[in-house]
Amino acid sequence: MKKTLAILAFLALTGFEGCSTVPQSPQQAVYSAKSNYAVALAVAVAYKGLPRCAVGAPVVCSKPDVVLTLQKVDIASSALLDAAEATVRTEGAGANAQTAVKAAEQAVGAFQTIVSVLQTK
């Protein structure tokens, strides 16, 4: 379990920086956002797997209200990523593709911000 958490912490610290290059197309931007989402989701899942905070709980525990917030942001991020992916695959999407990508990137950024402050070990 400690090894898994260490790997997740490493991914969280290195993965939130995103790509080292700027995406050249909306498709690349969606792929990059999906990658960042996967890292954030791994941290959220690790947090949810911790014992629930309660009297007598270990120092590192998960708060039910935080887990609920994570689930809501996860659902929104996932939906926006799927919509952005579908939009950028549509021939002639133009400005709609840029709007969809931006919305997905912002949702993933919010998810990353939330999980970046979670204590998972």
Task: Note the pLDDT of residue 5.
Answer: 47
Domain 2-116 class in CATH: mainly alpha
User: Per residue in 10-34, pLDDT tens?
Assistant: 444 445 444 456 778 889 999 999 9
Query: What phi and psi values does residue 62 have, to the nearest 5 degrees?
Result: -110, 135
pLDDT in tens, 93-120: 888 889 999 999 999 999 999 999 887 7
How confident is the model over 4-15, as a mean pLDDT? 48
Which tens digit of pLDDT belongs to each residue from 38-73? 999 999 999 999 999 988 878 889 999 999 999 999
**Confidence band of 76 (pLDDT split at 50, 70, 90):** very high
The full set of domain ranges for the chain reads 2-116
